[in-house]
Amino acid sequence: MVAPQPFFRARGTPFSVLHRIRALCSVGHTVDLVTYPFGEDVAIGGLNIVRAGRPPFVRDVKIGPSIAKLILDVPVFFKTQKLLRDRHYDLLHSHEEAAFFCVGLSRKFGLPHVYDMHSSLPQQLDTFGSFNLAPIRSFFKFLEDRVLSTCDGVITICPDLADTALPICGDTPHAMVENTADDREAFAESHVDVRAVLGLKGKNIILYTGTFESYQGLDVLMSAMTTLIARSPNAHLIMVGGRPEQVASYQQIAKDAGISGHVTFTGTISPSHIPSYQDAADIIVSPRSSGTNSPLKLYGYMRSGRPLVATDMYTHTQVLDNEVALLVPPTQEGLAAGMQRLIEDPIFAAKLGAAAARRANEEFSDQAYIDKVTKFYEDVIEHCSSTFISSTV
């Protein structure tokens, strides 16, 4: 498996990579994971993490397209090629842009190739604004189409990506494997009395967890908090995540808005503590303002049984509806009104949270996730075997 990511780090794609591996290893497979030189080791029986070398002057890598990522992908390619030459594998599984070079490597070494499509890379250029020029987008679209038309299996994570992949991959086995795996199965929960530790007993706690990238809509959330606090002075926002420089920036925004006493920033925390923060929350908020991929964290939010306010955008509505979340316009007033309603109507809030937990238990169980991943692998192997037999007849 090849993942051009810092593994493990508590953000979207690394979580997805982790759970793919956990599913495969749980049914007896072994996985050699080629990944970046950054991240924390994770102990999973059957997993061997192989870190590519760190190029000079590259000390870390941010989320989204970057020059650093392109540079880091070079040693990942050579490490992958060396492993394929030195060891025997049954299948090559690539994530994101690693698929561009795994197409050739799979042919060279005669292996089935699975493409794990976490996003459409041309869309990423537009979302992040990096290298967002028409010739570059066209080139990435060409590479993406080439992967989809030549690989032996495709995994997508949401309907929007499935709609992108299916017209191109044709009869190739495809599975839409939403990121529904339960993080609690990968990280032993470490309980923290969040309200006591942060001095927030008696407060109406609103929780945000995730990255602090621009597409998350945090600027709108901060503006919405100024409106909400004027109406509900007991409201308090906990912001979990963000790089230090991003946290400092939003702390200044809160200070300038006069709400710094109503916002607590924790920075990045261990995934093992996330359930404690969810348990402490009265409301969870997902203010995402752009993009089409469904946030992985939605499934954990639903499991928590806490009422969820989310912007009424396709990134959310692929997973959520009005039975399990309060969907609001992606505006200052929309978010503020949604959070205020849940504070003022605890019966409605409890009903939403219970419905979300019920749906998560019925439709998005951890075992269902494992079964879907392993069934997809069986389909790929069967498809490749039948293709080989047909080509030799």
Q: Is 181 exposed, middle or buried (0-12, 13-18, 19+ CB in 10 A)?
A: buried
- Scored b (16 or more CB within 10 A) or e, 311-336 reads bbbebbbbbbeeebbbbbebbbebbb
Cβ neighbours around 389 below 10 Å, total: 9
Please give the Cα distance from 60 to 38 (Å, whole number).
7
Query: What's the pLDDT at 180?
Result: 85
In the predicted model, is pLDDT for residue 391 greater than 50?
no
Query: What's the pLDDT at 297?
Result: 92
Average pLDDT, the chain: 92
Could you read off the pLDDT of 197-223 as tens digits, one per residue?
999 999 999 999 999 998 999 999 999
Could you read off the pLDDT of 12-44 as tens digits, one per residue?
889 899 999 999 999 999 999 999 999 999 989
Q: Which residue has the higher pLDDT, 61 or 51?
A: 51
Question: pLDDT band for position 133 (50/70/90)?
Answer: confident
Please give the Cα distance from 375 to 173 (Å, whole number).
11
In the predicted model, is pLDDT for residue 313 greater than 90?
yes
In the predicted model, is pLDDT for residue 117 greater than 70?
yes
Question: pLDDT band for position 311 (50/70/90)?
Answer: very high
Q: What percent of the chain has pLDDT over 90?
A: 76
The helix or strand, by DSSP H or E, that contains position 154, with its residue range, turns out to be strand 153-156
Could you read off the pLDDT of 166-185 as tens digits, one per residue?
999 988 999 999 888 888 77
Query: What's the pLDDT at 126?
Result: 66
Query: What's the pLDDT at 388?
Result: 45
Cα atoms found within 13 Å of the Cα of residue 195, Cβ hemisphere only? 12
Between β-strands 47-51 and 92-95, what pairing exists: parallel, antiparallel or unpaired? unpaired
Please give the Cα distance from 134 to 193 (Å, whole number).
50
Whole-number Cα distances in Å, 167 to 163, 352, 364: 7, 36, 27
CA triple 227-233-238, angle to 5 deg = 80
In the predicted model, is pLDDT for residue 254 greater than 50?
yes
Please give the Cα distance from 232 to 305 (Å, whole number).
23
In the predicted model, is pLDDT for residue 129 greater than 70?
no
In the predicted model, is pLDDT for residue 127 greater than 80?
no
Query: What's the pLDDT at 132?
Result: 65
Please give the Cα distance from 31 to 373 (Å, whole number).
14
Please give the Cα distance from 263 to 225 (Å, whole number).
9
Question: Nearest 5°: phi and psi at 286?
Answer: -125, 100
Helix axis angle for 134-150 and 98-108, nearest 10°, is 40
Hey, what domains does the chain have and what are their CATH numbers? 2-182+366-392 (3.40.50.2000), 185-363 (3.40.50.2000)
In the predicted model, is pLDDT for residue 277 greater than 80?
yes
Average pLDDT (245-271) is 95
Query: What's the pLDDT at 302?
Result: 96
